[in-house]
Amino acid sequence: MIARTSTIFVSMILLMPGDATSLSAKAIELRPKDPVYVQLGKKVYQNQCASCHGVNLEGQEGWRDRKVDGMRLAPPHDKSGHTWHHPDELLYKLTKYGFKAMIGEDYKVSMPVYDSIIEDQKIIAVLSYIKSTWPADIKKIHDKINSDYKLNRAMEEKIGDRD
């Protein structure tokens, strides 16, 4: 009975109309075709990310094999990097909560945790901008990564419900 009530409660949260504060409870979706998000994201990118990830999303020289103070260098966000290998939700969480939260406290990383630096909508915007710069074939692969990821999540939730 308790489990049933909490399921209903969670469903209600998911159905609530979205605003910035309830964003984390909803499915995360980038908006690379939305010019408002892309324009905003471009500004956020230049202010917050370009110093490490490069003005043209090219990353830091030697990012593949060099480390500085035991930390990796910033990878590119263009086609040559691996940002596009990850679904929207993971990119969002990495940016918002940081690598330590996702991987472990002893992970050494230079990238700031953006949760308290920029609003959730700006995180969506900056990642939407990044995606908007990818060539059509990469965007298509990334869309497929997202739909596979969502399908997996949905199946896992269904299996979880049967217990």
Question: Which residues lie near ligand HEC (CB under 6 A)?
Answer: 48-49, 51-53, 72-75, 81-83, 86, 91, 94-95, 99, 109-112, 114, 126-127
The token duo for 105 is: 């406290």
The token duo for 104 is: 């472990």
The token duo for 135 is: 């060539």
Closest approach of Cβ 151 to ligand HEC, in Å? 22
CB nearer ligand HEC, residue 35 or residue 104: 104
Closest approach of Cβ 26 to ligand HEC, in Å? 19
Closest approach of Cβ 60 to ligand HEC, in Å? 8
Q: What phi-psi label fits residue 18: left (phi over 0), alpha (psi between -120 and 50 degrees) or beta? A: beta
CB nearer ligand HEC, residue 10 or residue 148: 148
Rg (CA), the chain: 17
Closest approach of Cβ 49 to ligand HEC, in Å? 3
CB nearer ligand HEC, residue 28 or residue 94: 94
The sign of the CA dihedral 22, 24, 26, 30 is positive
Q: How far is CA 163 from CA 46, 69, 151, 157, in A?
A: 48, 47, 19, 10
CB nearer ligand HEC, residue 19 or residue 69: 69
Nearest to 130 by CA among 67, 73, 74, 64: 74
